[in-house]
Structure 1
Amino acid sequence: MLEIDGSFGEGGGQILRTSLALSVLTKIPVNIYNIRRNRPREGLAPQHLKTISAIEELTGSITEGKYISSTEIKFIPKNEFKRKITINIGTAGSITLLLQSLMVLLPFLENKTTVGVYGGTDVPWSPQVDYLREVTVPTLERMGYTIKINKIVRGYYPEGGGYVEIEVNPIKKLKSIQIDKFEKSSKVQGISYSTNLPENVTERQKKSARGIISREGITPSIKLQVEKDSSQRIGSGIFLFSKDKDSIIGDGALGERGKRAEEVGEEGAKQFMEKYLQGYDCHMSDQMVPYMALAEGTSSIFTKKTSHLETNISILEKFYNVKFIWKDDRLEVEGIGLENIYID
């Protein structure tokens, strides 16, 4: 059984999400202790329990110590895969963070797998669902990953009520990828969205963001999405992204009670422009390193060190005989070329 210190590095849920996925792929049981030990509320939160439950349901795996505030679990991986699962987080817990863990597994299963998750699509401290759609998915597709997003219903903090359904086909291997420094593009796209709020909210967010981005001589193309229904879902946000020949960057901001639409647009544009001017997306590197380690051949990404990234790398190097190497601001790894044993 592999021992993993859950307080290492950034000491958050990322350790849990990555470790459980790799445990299933390697068939190595894990004991994760000191879970979120350095956080204000240590131990497992409801969001983390749902991630564990999702992997259990998908794979038939067994977990000991799975309860609120638990600081230690023992996870026994199984390979009793289901073709379709539906998870209800029950709150506005992040759908995208839960999917991050499952998506590492899905291309190496026997059959096409459909995963539906109820919860929050656009909530604090996690990637917006548009990041998944516009940044993560297109980047993974370059590696041969075959994924389809069947449905998105937005859900916000604190009510939740969102839903995302993805469909992933099995593949034999992941291909290596090279993500260079982002080259400034004159094309910036985005979406300004709202649910059950006055219609002018999306236009105000858009106008504010456009004012910031236009300082760089760029006129962004920002679509508006206004939803009205009888649900309790209330919220808004903006997401901006840009593509060059081999990389994508994206960022945005969320509305909240008492926060003016203009502030949302300005905040989203500033966060996007920071990545745009630096030439890399740190959130993308956090997400990509597991796939780089599993792919065949040498993969690289232009990025900077962060605690999240270093933590993820440490876990990958515990499970696999891989070594991530920094060459200035480029992170490289020779992947293991993991093969899907169910595909001839």
Structure 2
Amino acid sequence: MAFSEGSQRRKRAWRKPREEIGPGIIHPDSSSSIETASTESDHLKPKRINRTTLKEPMSSSEPEPVCTIEQSSPEPTSIGSVSMDRSSVEEGLNGGSSVTVGGAEAPLIIDGSVMEGGGQILRISMALNCLLNRSITVTNIRAGRDKPGLRPQHLTGIELLAQMCGGRLKGEGIGSSEVTLCPQAIRGGHFTADTRTAGSVCLLLQAALPCLLFAPKSSKVTLKGGTNADMAPPIDYAIKVFQPIAARFGVQFDCRVVRRGFYPKGCGEVEIATPTGPVPHLTAVTMTDPGTLVGITIHAFVAGAVPINACHKMVMGARKALERQLPGVGLEVKEVQETRDSAFGNSSGIIIVAETSTGCLLAGSANGRKSDPADKTGRAAADELVRGVRSGGCVDEHLQDQLIILMALARGRSTIRTGPLTLHTQTAIHIAQLLTKAKFWTERVSGEKREVHLIHCDGIGLENKLTTPL
């Protein structure tokens, strides 16, 4: 088997006892370091990040950490041993040099098979190291998947990041299990990424947005692929849920759906822009009061040869499920029949968004299937929303992990109330903390019959000094 040796190593590692806070949240030791060999012949070996023991959270009395992105390019420094603390993060920011050993760059190594073990590890690792201007190698990419290694959407994502930071890729290719990115300074401009498949443009957005925000000027990214793909949130979720919540962190971007695209051909197109310019820094956010439901919006669409009657049936299925499980909440309905210009292919879909009295947004969505009645699609979306509402969190299971990178980069302490922590969230915390040294910890909320958690993070306070006047 291609990964038999690595699999045996992982099995042995997983049997080791761990200390945890919350279900499965593993905290990297502050002493985790990147060590280099003392012999001259080993000075080019990559540095490997060690894993993991329990780390106590930063006390509230400690000074707020701040990192900066500088325009200048200091000379590389030869370092014998590098501790991954905040000072080393600051030295490795945009415009600076990657850590060097014996005059040669030594990339950090991340095992892409740990925890959730999917493309999320690749996206977060590459994006963060573009911002911090450090070379990185991700190994064992998607090792546990049916089709391991890079798929078209993953390859497209890292190629886009390389464009945005003027970086060099090594080992990239469909099916590759190991890839290295050597970034330079983040650049502004207009970038295009095309999966040439139905691969999710929303996952491309997750990879590109941090670099877009910290670019030196207003920029634009055109993403092509699937807008409503299985196993990923639809583009409607990014617009209706992620975008307004991310705005609380100071994230400002426009998202325009030029054309929807579906399985199997994709051909969708979305434009992401920062017309107001890049952010100077992100601001910590506190969301601990879920409030009460004040309204629910149902948005259903059909495209191509799918009749508008399918829209009506999706809405009816959703309405019945919601009236039974969340009675007394006002419903607003929108049904859309996409045109040939606004969608490519035949498909249908529905997203249901609930808003609370404290401004929380939770959602459920589903794509139509030939094998399923349309009303079943509506019920599936409604059931997902109800699970999120009943979880007791301020965010749903999809938004949990998407906010982790923003919490890590923000200035100050963020606190988010969630339901059960997903493996995607646990993985995002693990990788973000390893690479940025933001301090994450979780606590179970007492007095709750449900499994409710608070995710806390003391962010690194990344500052963008590459900005130019608009």
TM-score if structure 2 supplies the norm length? Answer: 0.71
Q: Which residue of 2 aligns with 1:236?
A: 348
State whether residues 202 and 234 of structure 2, in contact with CA within 8 Å, keep that contact through their aligned partners in structure 1.
yes
State whether residues 130 and 186 of structure 2, in contact with CA within 8 Å, keep that contact through their aligned partners in structure 1.
no
Pairing partner for 1:295 from 389, 410, 434: 410
Gap change, CA 1:308 and 1:49, over 3 Å in 2: same
Q: Distance in 1 between matches of 2:233 and 2:143?
A: 23
> What is the deviation of 1:186?
3.4
2:433 paired with 1:317: yes
> What is the deviation of 1:279?
2.6
5 Å matches for 1:209-224? 209-215=318-324, 216-217=326-327, 218-224=329-335
Pairing partner for 2:243 from 129, 137, 142: 137
State whether residues 302 and 331 of structure 1, in contact with CA within 8 Å, keep that contact through their aligned partners in structure 2.
yes
> What is the deviation of 1:111?
0.6
Q: Distance in 2 between matches of 1:232 and 1:240?
A: 23
Higher-helix-fraction structure: 1
More divergent stretch after superposition (296-305 vs 91-100): 296-305
2:450 paired with 1:330: no
1:35-63 alpha-carbon deviations (Å, 9 max, x no partner)? 11111211111111110111112221111
Q: Distance in 1 between matches of 2:180 and 2:344?
A: 38
Amino acid at match of 2:429: I
Where does the alignment leave 5 or more consecutive residues of structure 1 unmatched? Answer: none
> What is the deviation of 1:156?
1.0
State whether residues 174 and 294 of structure 1, in contact with CA within 8 Å, keep that contact through their aligned partners in structure 2.
yes
Amino acid at match of 2:315: K
Q: Distance in 2 between matches of 1:78 and 1:225?
A: 44
Q: Distance in 1 between matches of 2:404 and 2:380?
A: 28
Q: Distance in 1 between matches of 2:467 and 2:207?
A: 22
Amino acid at match of 1:258: S
1:322-344 alpha-carbon deviations (Å, 9 max, x no partner)? 22111211000111111002248
Alignment partner of 1:336: what SS? coil
Q: Which residue of 1 aligns with 2:399?
A: 284
Gap change, CA 1:12 and 1:181, over 3 Å in 2: farther
More divergent stretch after superposition (155-164 vs 223-232): 223-232
> What is the deviation of 1:286?
0.4
Amino acid at match of 1:263: K
State whether residues 60 and 80 of structure 1, in contact with CA within 8 Å, keep that contact through their aligned partners in structure 2.
yes
> What is the deviation of 1:232?
4.7
Q: Distance in 1 between matches of 2:339 and 2:370?
A: 18
Q: Distance in 1 between matches of 2:313 and 2:397?
A: 28
Q: Which residue of 2 aligns with 1:27?
A: 133
5 Å matches for 1:148-297? 148-168=254-274, 169-196=277-304, 197-215=306-324, 216-217=326-327, 218-229=329-340, 232-244=344-356, 245-280=358-393, 281-297=396-412
> What is the deviation of 1:317?
1.2
Gap change, CA 1:91 and 1:341, over 3 Å in 2: same
Q: Distance in 2 between matches of 1:103 and 1:229?
A: 29
- How many residues matched? 344
Q: Distance in 2 between matches of 1:334 and 1:232?
A: 44
Identity of aligned residues (%): 31
Q: Distance in 2 between matches of 1:279 and 1:130?
A: 23
State whether residues 154 and 162 of structure 1, in contact with CA within 8 Å, keep that contact through their aligned partners in structure 2.
yes
Q: Distance in 1 between matches of 2:271 and 2:294?
A: 32
Q: Distance in 2 between matches of 1:271 and 1:232?
A: 27
Amino acid at match of 2:364: D
Alignment partner of 1:142: what SS? helix
CA RMSD between the two structures: 1.5
> What is the deviation of 1:228?
3.2
1:188-245 alpha-carbon deviations (Å, 9 max, x no partner)? 1120111021111111111110000011213421211111327751100100111221
Q: Which residue of 1 aligns with 2:47?
A: none
Q: Distance in 1 between matches of 2:349 and 2:208?
A: 26
State whether residues 179 and 246 of structure 1, in contact with CA within 8 Å, keep that contact through their aligned partners in structure 2.
no
Larger radius of gyration: 2
